[in-house]
Amino acid sequence: MAVSPYRVTPARIGNSSGLRLPAVFYRDHPQFAGVAGQAEVLDDRTLLLRFEPEAQQQDETPEDSLILGLFLDFLSRQALTADPGPLIYSEAMAVDDEELLAGVTVDAADDAADVPPGA
């Protein structure tokens, strides 16, 4: 892993003092965004920060979450910049949906299996 120095500046947080890391740090290392940690003084000029990121879900890789984040950002930009703006669901659309679903039966047992516990 390449060593990249990041400038840390003092910050006032409520009644406490803190250290502010630049946004580029969190872009380069998103696993540390919003996590708690510990500070250890090694000597008069050296401080060690130890962050404790939560473990990744076993089936999720960092690439998956990055790609999902980029995709959601893309969708948000597209929705906000579309010429006609967001599409409002109308009565005519509801009628079309009802016609499309006419005659479709759903087994209650299958439907109950899709509902998460506690919902």
Instruction: Tell me the domain boundaries of the chain.
Output: 9-51, 62-102
Which region holds residue 108: left if phi is over 0, alpha if psi is between -120 and 50, else beta?
alpha
Highest mean pLDDT: which of 24-28, 48-52, 91-95?
A: 91-95
CA atoms within 13 A on the CB side of 97: 6
Q: Do residues 73 and 80 touch, judged by C-beta distance below 8 A?
A: no
pTM over 0.85: no
Per-residue pLDDT of 35-87, as tens digits, reads: 888 888 888 888 888 887 776 445 556 667 788 888 888 888 877 777 766 67
